[in-house]
Amino acid sequence: EVQLVESGGGLVQPGGSLGLSCAASGFTFSSYEMSWVRQAPGKGLEWLSYISSSGDSIYYADSVKGRFTISRDNAKNSLYLQMNSLRVEDTAVYYCAREGSSYGTYFEYWGHGTLLTVSS
Amino acid sequence: QSVLTQPPSASGTPGQRVTISCSGSSSNIGSNTVNWYQQLPGTAPKLLIYTNNQRPSGVPDRFSGSKSGTSASLAISGLQSEDEADYYCAGWDGSLKGVVFGGGTKLTVL
């Protein structure tokens, strides 16, 4: 069974930093592209970042470019998101998502999410 | 403001057929595949339709997707109370070099 478990969320002051982790199991992690997606309270879904299976191709949404860094450790079956210069508007539930196996970019599996609150 | 445009709400009675539209542009829907996600209240999103019209295993055939030009649609037939959820369209945008989502449509089963 595919499982994605995010951790690391919490309360951070504006301008602070935090790192999120996503532990993957139930599939060959090193074979799949991964992404981070967030959802602000009462709002829609927002894609943040993508990383290829090997980690050599990375993309970011403009809203987080230069502040957030996606990475992965295939030996540890883990995906990461380092977030710096956090803003109040970064408050959201953060999901890690695994790409599908077929043609096209789609998120076949999602974690349960971890809540980040940015507030003073 | 989302790159993909969806109606904020939709509704129907049990047994009815409802459709949710998703409008984009040549850089996203017009040149890439469309996917749909269902988010039940208080839960993580779930893949509902991928590659325009494919259903993952376990998704009832009451759900179907289509795409034409720069627009896509999700159709739900035989509406059931458990279909009450938020629905999001999404796809890759070649100009933005990223995944774009619609703003979401809240489906109410009356």
Cβ–Cβ of A103/B51 closer than 8 Å? yes
pLDDT one digit per residue (tens) for chain B, 110 residues: 899 999 999 999 999 999 999 999 999 999 999 999 999 999 999 999 999 999 999 999 999 999 999 999 999 999 999 999 999 999 999 999 999 999 999 999 99
Residues from chain A that touch B32, judged by Cβ atoms under 8 A, are: 104-105
Q: Does residue A90 sit in helix, strand or coil?
A: helix
**CA A6, chain centre distance (Å):** 8
Cβ–Cβ of B37/A44 closer than 8 Å? no
Residues from chain A that touch B101, judged by Cβ atoms under 8 A, are: 44-47
* Long-range contacts, stretch A85-88, CB < 8 angstroms, 24+ apart: A85/A15, A85/A17, A86/A12, A86/A13, A86/A14, A86/A15, A86/A16, A86/A17, A86/A18, A86/A116, A86/A118, A87/A14, A87/A118, A88/A14, A88/A118, A88/A119
Mind listing the pLDDT tens digit for each residue in A98-108?
A: 999 877 789 99
- Selected residue with higher pLDDT from A105 and A25: A25
Mind listing the pLDDT tens digit for each residue in A50-75?
A: 999 999 999 999 999 999 999 999 99
Mean pLDDT, chain A, rounded, equals 97
pLDDT at A7 over 80: yes
Compute the CA torsion angle A26, A32, A38, A42 (nearest 10 deg). Answer: -60
Interface residue A120 vs chain B (CB under 8 A): no
